[in-house]
Structure 1
Amino acid sequence: MKKHIIGTLLLGGWSLMMLTLLQSCDKQEVFSYESEHALFFERWKQVSLSERYRLDTVNYSFSHYVGVEDIEHQFKINLIGNLLEEDAEYKVIVVDSLTTATEDQYTIKNPVFRKGRSSDSLTVVVHKTPVLKDKSVHLTLRLVENENFGLGYMGYTDVRIRFNDMPTQPTWWTKEVELAFLGPYSYEKLETIVAANEGFTTFEGLSLTEKRKIALNTKEYISEHGITEKNGDPMEIPVY
């Protein structure tokens, strides 16, 4: 009986170890650095037990940000090793073979990892240009080694931004938003929502009360200014 128990415990421990190894391999968490400190981009965010989304690839349309000329995005970077005692610069390059954006369409802000932090962020600003009305472009960035940092996990070195100015429906304008608050999407209606609600950019993160207020403000604005859809149809907001 004792031998059987010991054998079961050993087998259980071996299974747990193998499961851990498999999970690590699935995440490609293989160290590739030789320096005291190493960096890697955060790739995923877990929002529930069954749902997660990518953090290393983002999409923007300037049409969703009426009147905005520049959009800023921050990619999270994690540190392997002891916390820094002084700020240190890391190196990021543009991957030309995986980039269609031109230099006037983006700015990479000062890539410095700050002291005392286990994670920081790389700030990238994309700029609206006339050609984005007709096409989407993308920018791919890559962490590379320098005198301060090596590379962390393999496969976690690249990030990408796709952006355009083509009028597409925002992802936050869901069927629920359509039925309960704003009605069917049109670019003219989005422009009107922005005009009626100073500082508005998105429904994401807003309470039901805040969403309703935005919809009511827009409905009143439409009535006051006699705004219609592009084809002359009434611009309808279903909220009361």
Structure 2
Amino acid sequence: MTKLSVNINKIATLRNSRGGDMPNVVQFAKDVQKFGAEGVTIHPRPDERHIRYQDAYDLKSEVYTEYNIEGNPIEKFTNMVLEIKPTQVTLVPDAVDAITSNAGWDTIKHKDFLVEMIQEFKQNGIRTSVFVDPDLKQIEGAKETGTDRIELYTEAFAHQYSLGNHEAIKPYAACAELANELGLGVNAGHDLSLDNIQFFKQHIPGLLEVSIGHALISESLYLGIENVVQMYLRKLK
């Protein structure tokens, strides 16, 4: 089974645009779980332009599926994760001013830093995942960090797939196969959508979790959130 974790950052973006509390991110998280989502993902950034650090704390008691917090492990982020103790922390090398995630870790260059961070999270009972590009050397490097899982950065696949290039799946499949051999769990995320998720799932061995936000929320504007969650679940099965 591949679990669907819904990234609710865009709900916070919509809320923040009016300065109030509509839509309420905690209620939305409760609703998507009720509709069948098997996890909730948030990605707080230092400027708190969408998910706020307080949201992360408020969600702790309401996410009864899997709670996944993504981000660059700066001190503030790390302290927050250690206090909340979510199911999983996904380490992403975001620049402070990044609009969205745009690259995976160089797991070889940053090995020592990642080892230190991952050890601290795991000692506190938090499953770890490292955001990586579909490069075999980076998968091998991820293994050396001690991480539990990798998250394959899927933007390149999604873009090429939209152009009709189905061969773009090959490096992702190869990386997943290697990860399986090395004992690493495989997650994936970024620009996955109803259009490409079934093809991706069918070609990625041992895919444990997908984290989907922007596309899922956008599709829900037309199709409804409960319906869209169910559509993803059917495609993932």
Shared topology, TM-score over 0.5? no
Identify, as 1 or 2, the structure richer in strand.
1
TM-score (norm 1): 0.22
TM-score with structure 2 setting the length: 0.22
Highest CA radius of gyration, 1 or 2? 1
